[in-house]
Amino acid sequence: MSAVRRALLSLSDKQGLVPFAQGLVRLGFELLSTGGTRKALEEAGVPVLDVAQYTGFPEMMDGRVKTLHPRIHGGLLGRPDLGEDAASMKDHGITPFELVVVNLYPFVETISKPNVTAEEAIEQIDIGGPSMLRSAAKNHKYVGVVTSPSQYQQVLAELEQGMLGFAFRRQLAAAAFEMTARYDRAIADYMAGLTDSEVASDPEFPSVLTLKYERRSSLRYGENPHQRAAFYVEANPPSSSLAAAKILHGKELSYNNLLDLDAAMQIVREFRAPAACVIKHNNPCGCAVGDSLAEAYVKADGGDPVSAFGSILGFNRPVDVETADQLSVPGRFIEAIIAPSFEPAAFQLLTTVPKWKANVRLLECPAMLDSRAVSQEFRRVTGGLLVQDRDESIDDSSGWKVVTTRSPTAEEFTDLEFAWSVCKYVKSNAILFAKKGQVVGVGAGQMSRLDSAYIAAYKSGERAKGGVCASDAFFPFRDGIDQIHDAGITAVIQPGGSKRDEDVIAACNEYGIAMLFTGRRHFRH
């Protein structure tokens, strides 16, 4: 190692730069830097040498060319204990770098902004930064490569003891290669999108798809104890997504908890009125709207009190004391709750009163009612991946068509809108009964729509009389209408589109049932 301890710094993100650089100077490092990084250090009174002074070659082309020089990369790639490398470095006045501190132009942040042009995006493609990172990371036997402010403290601590240990340098090198891989992948995806657009393809489904997620936590297990699992999140997840929710209380979340919390959040944000939903095995067994959140919860829990035991709850309003009182009624058991927030008194009650107070998971997501968080969803199949638009758009009721002799009453229409909003989150084949803003019966995940209708009728009992029915897809035969009529249903909403639609319409007319066709199916497998 050279007697001169030299560090090269070139940063777009200057968080923590000055105290870190001051620490390096204190440890005897000579600092070399470029452009804005050099200026920030000079303004803070940190001694720094301009890279152009060292290379003898000025920055040019608006800063595009500054570190792409043999004296820089020779100092990064040189192996001082190899005779030929040492001779070359001596002949050309190259001093090895002990440390390289680099992060990259904000390409991802730039393309995330609205109305960014291709020219603006391309200008944020860093060239010198990745080159330096790769050189230093390849030569990590001799060079420490630092890519994140989160590493500064440990780097200084190890340097205080003399030099960076080899294991730590290898860890830093792995992080550097990970950074350049993510960066290059983002650029490649962006350029592929531009290319796909130019050849009239669909830029939402690029010809090559690479997903980038970071592990947030390892989970105790997956759907079953013998399955391993982990939770991965995208970089900068949308504020209205589950990944942005904050865990306020309770034991560790499970794989199934996360699935059900996501479903709960999706459903309640369908409604403007105070709403609550009760999720069990990724299906709503209860959902309701009310004049208050407490009323909505009582109605939602009452939709299927037996299934509601050990459920996941979602609310579209801050949880208040009145609602928390209802949640704490003896005999109720709740696994987790997600809401925009919890009033302090409600949080205190939920974490001190019920028997399950120590274990219940409480999550807040203040922006959960904002615009839809995810535009696409992915499902793994053996050897491949299925990608589709997420079915979260709110249907426009102005396009619905009355196909029966009788039109729905105003009260029925309101309930049909409510039932249709919830039904699309029920596993297919889905039949949902509702009445007065409350789900009263659900038939989910059956191989036959008739079976789902039977289960919904069984679950609802007498409460179905005068209620409405939503079906996520068309009725293939009139027998489904016969079943819901026997249950007391008076109005139906469904997509339509069966070759036997006329038979189904005739059955409704026979029973005096009003029926709407939406023209849109909501299968959920």
DSSP string, 144-173: EEE--GGGHHHHHHHHHTSS--HHHHHHHH
The Cα–Cα gap between 285 and 273 comes to 19
Phi, psi values for residue 277, rounded to 5°:
-135, 150
The Cα–Cα gap between 223 and 229 comes to 8
> Which helix (H) or strand (E) covers residue 442, if one does?
strand 439-443
The pLDDT of residue 180: 87
* Catalytic residue check, 138: yes
Residue type, 233: V
> Which of 465, 168, 425, 397 shows the shortest CA–CA distance to 283?
425
Output b/e per residue, 351-379; b: 16+ Cβ within 10 A. beebebeeebbbbbbeebeeeebbeeeee
The Cα–Cα gap between 50 and 8 comes to 10
> Which helix (H) or strand (E) covers residue 286, if one does?
strand 283-289
The Cα–Cα gap between 447 and 437 comes to 28
Interstrand relation of 439-443 and 431-434 (parallel, antiparallel or unpaired): antiparallel
Task: Quote the longest CA-to-CA distance of the chain.
Answer: 99
* Catalytic residue check, 251: no
* pTM to 2 decimal places: 0.74
The Cα–Cα gap between 297 and 278 comes to 9
Per-residue pLDDT of the chain in tens (525 residues, 90 and over written 9): 456 788 888 888 888 889 888 888 888 888 888 878 888 888 888 888 877 666 656 565 555 555 667 677 777 777 777 777 678 777 777 778 888 888 888 777 887 788 888 888 888 787 778 888 888 888 888 888 999 889 998 889 988 888 888 898 898 999 898 888 888 888 887 877 777 555 445 667 777 777 888 899 999 899 999 999 999 998 778 889 999 999 999 999 999 999 999 999 999 999 999 999 999 999 999 999 999 999 999 999 999 999 999 999 999 999 999 999 999 999 999 999 999 999 999 999 999 999 999 999 999 999 998 866 567 889 999 999 999 988 877 788 889 999 999 999 999 999 999 999 999 999 999 999 999 999 999 999 999 999 999 999 999 999 999 999 999 999 999 999 999 999 999 999 999 999 999 999 999 999 999 999 999 999 998
Region(s) of the chain under CATH 3.40.140.20:
239-364, 399-517
Tokens coding 507 = 């059955």
Sign of CA dihedral 94, 95, 99, 105: negative
Residue identified by tokens 């009624």 is 329
Look up the CATH architecture of domain 399-517: 3-Layer(aba) Sandwich (3.40)
Tokens coding 336 = 């987790």
Residue identified by tokens 């890279």 is 51
262 three-state secondary structure: helix
The Cα–Cα gap between 95 and 78 comes to 9
Superfamily (CATH) of domain 5-192: Methylglyoxal synthase-like domain (3.40.50.1380)
Catalytic residue among 14, 281, 357, 436: 281
The pLDDT of residue 181: 86
Catalytic residue among 14, 138, 251, 357: 138
Q: How far apart are the first and last CA of the chain?
A: 62
The Cα–Cα gap between 515 and 503 comes to 13
513 three-state secondary structure: coil
Domain 239-364 has CATH 3.40.50.300: no
Interstrand relation of 246-249 and 99-102 (parallel, antiparallel or unpaired): unpaired
Tokens coding 53 = 């002074």
Cβ contacts of 523 within 8 Å, gap of 6 or more = 428, 472, 473
Are 416 and 470 a contacting pair, CB within 8 Å? yes
If you write DSSP's letter for every residue of 478-506 in order, what string do you get?
Answer: THHHHHHHHHT--EEEE----TTHHHHHH
The Cα–Cα gap between 505 and 401 comes to 12
The pLDDT of residue 112: 79
